[in-house]
Amino acid sequence: MRILFSFAGGSGHLIPLVPIAHAAEAAGHQVAFACTPGTAGRVEAAGFTAVVAETPPAEAPPQVAPQAPPQVAPAPSPERSPLRPIDHAQIDREIREIFAGRAARRNAARMLDICPGWQPDLVVCDEADFGCMVAAERLGLPYASVLVLAAGSLIRPDLVTEPLDELRAAYDLPPDPGLGMLSRYLVLSPAPRSYRDPAFPLPATAHSIRPVTPHPPVAPAIAPWAGRSDGRPGVYLTLGTEFNMESGDLFPRLIAGLGELDINLLVTVGQQIDPAEFGRQPAHVRIERYVPQALVLPGCDLVLSHAGSGSVLGALEHGLPMVLAPMGADQPANAGRCAALGVARVLDAYAVTPAAAAEAVTGVLTDDGYRRAAGRLRDEIAALPGPEHAIPLLEWLAAQRRPVLAD
C-alpha cells in the first residue's frame, strides 16, 4: 500500500504523524510526505521521503478570487518578537484565514499536483490540513486525519465552514455545512479520551491510539541530564519550537524564578536562541538549545511549558504534573483542559513574575494531587493501543473506501 502523508503547519502538525508513518513502514507499506520546499528538510530529518510539487502550486483555481500570498507556520525568524497578551480573536482569525483559507488553497493545489504522479492508495493528514482533504475528495481517494489539537475546541464550524465551502466550490465539490469531510472516513486520535473537551466530542469514526514521544533517528551528542538523580526534583522548561521566538522576556523571567529553587532545572530554548545570552547560571540550572523530550521526560518531576499539544501529551505520557504559560494557538485550550483535569496550574505568560513562577512550581511539586491526577492520565494513555493499531484501520479503509466506525 502506498500512503501519502501531509501536514498543514509546523512541527506540532508533523510530529503526531511520525509514529503512524513509522508503523506503516514497519508493516511493509511505502510511505512519503507531501511537502513544501520549506518543510522537506524536517521530513527528511525524521527519516522519510519528502515529495515536493514539481511546480509551485497555484494558490487557488482560476474561479476563486485572488487572495494574499499563501503562508502558514513559517520557519521562525532569527528576530525575536515581543510577547503579547493572548488574543483569542486573533487565534480564531488564524484558523479561518490561514488554515481554512490560504494554507487550504495552497495545500489542495499541491496535493493535486503530487498525487497523480505518486499515486497513493490513501492519504493521511493532520486535522488542520483542510486542503489535503479537499484534494483527496476531488481525486476520489480515501483519507484519514490525525488529531493534533488535542483539546478539540479550536476548529469550529463558525470559523471554517464558509472558507472551506468556497474552496470546495472551486473544485466542483458540493457544500459541506456539517463539516462531514473532517471525519468522513477515519480519525486517529493520539490522546486519552478524557483529555478531549466534552463540548467537542470525538466523531463516530475516531479511534484512539497512544501518543508517543518520538526518539530522534540519531541520538544527539549531548551530555545526559542529571534530572532527579541527586534527590532534588527535576524540572524541565520549554516554550516549544515555534513560540519560543515569540516569547519576549518570558524565558529570563522563568529562569530567574526557578533558578532560586532547590531543583535541577533543564531549559531548552530552541535552535535560534543562544543559551549564552542568559548569562552564567548556578550548577543546578542547565540551558541548551535542544534536547529530545524522549531523553528528558523520564528524569522529570514537573514540566513547565507553553501548553502546546505535544508538550502536554508528552508530560502526561510520563505522568508528570505541569505549570503552563500559554501564549497562543491551541495553548489556552490545552491549559484550560489541564487545569480542569487537575494536572496543572496555569500562569499568565504576559504578566507572570519570577516569584510567581517559582511559587507555582513549588506549589505543584508539593501538592500530591497534581501528580495523582497526572498519573491517572498516564495510566489511561498506557492502556491505549500503540500507533501500530492504526495500520489495519488504514488497510481496511484503502480496501473498502468506507468509514471506519469505532466499536
Domain of 171: which CATH number?
A: 3.40.50.2000
pLDDT in tens, the chain (407 residues): 999 999 998 888 999 999 999 999 999 999 999 998 888 999 998 999 999 986 555 443 433 333 333 333 334 445 778 899 999 999 999 999 999 999 999 999 999 999 999 999 999 999 999 999 999 999 999 999 999 999 999 999 999 999 999 999 999 999 999 999 999 999 999 999 999 999 999 999 999 999 988 776 666 667 778 788 788 999 999 998 878 878 789 999 999 999 999 999 999 998 889 999 999 999 999 999 999 888 899 999 999 999 999 999 999 999 999 999 999 999 999 999 999 999 999 999 999 999 999 999 999 999 999 999 999 999 999 999 999 999 999 999 999 999 999 97
Alpha-carbon distance of 279 to 387, in angstroms, equals: 42
Instruction: Report CA 292 to chain centroid distance, whole Å.
Output: 15
Alpha-carbon distance of 126 to 108, in angstroms, equals: 14
54's enclosing H/E stretch is: none
Looking at the domain assignment, is residue 377 inside a domain? yes
154 and 242 fall within a common domain: no
Q: Is 244 helix (H, G, I), strand (E, B) or coil?
A: helix
Structural domain count, the chain: 2
239 and 178 fall within a common domain: no
Alpha-carbon distance of 110 to 149, in angstroms, equals: 23
50 and 196 fall within a common domain: yes
Alpha-carbon distance of 143 to 182, in angstroms, equals: 10
Looking at the domain assignment, is residue 219 inside a domain? no
374 and 389 fall within a common domain: no
Q: Give the count of beta carbons closer than 10 Å to the beta carbon of residue 92.
A: 15
260 and 142 fall within a common domain: no
376 and 238 fall within a common domain: yes
- Helices 368-382 + 309-317 axis angle, to 10: 90
260 and 353 fall within a common domain: yes
* The pLDDT of residue 66: 30
30 and 176 fall within a common domain: yes
Looking at the domain assignment, is residue 216 inside a domain? no
156 and 25 fall within a common domain: yes
Looking at the domain assignment, is residue 289 inside a domain? yes
373 and 389 fall within a common domain: no
Alpha-carbon distance of 271 to 241, in angstroms, equals: 8
Question: Do 370 and 320 form a contact (C-beta atoms < 8 A)?
Answer: no
Looking at the domain assignment, is residue 68 inside a domain? yes
Looking at the domain assignment, is residue 163 inside a domain? yes
Looking at the domain assignment, is residue 16 inside a domain? yes
Alpha-carbon distance of 242 to 247, in angstroms, equals: 10
Looking at the domain assignment, is residue 226 inside a domain? no
* The pLDDT of residue 9: 80
* The pLDDT of residue 76: 41
Q: Which residues contact 169 (CB under 8 A, 6 or more apart)?
A: 63, 175
186 and 310 fall within a common domain: no
Question: CA 235, 241, 246 angle in degrees (round to 5)?
Answer: 100
Q: Tell me phi and psi for residue 24, to 5 degrees.
A: -65, -40
Question: Do 156 and 35 form a contact (C-beta atoms < 8 A)?
Answer: no
Please give the residue range of the domain that contains residue 346: 234-382
267 and 181 fall within a common domain: no
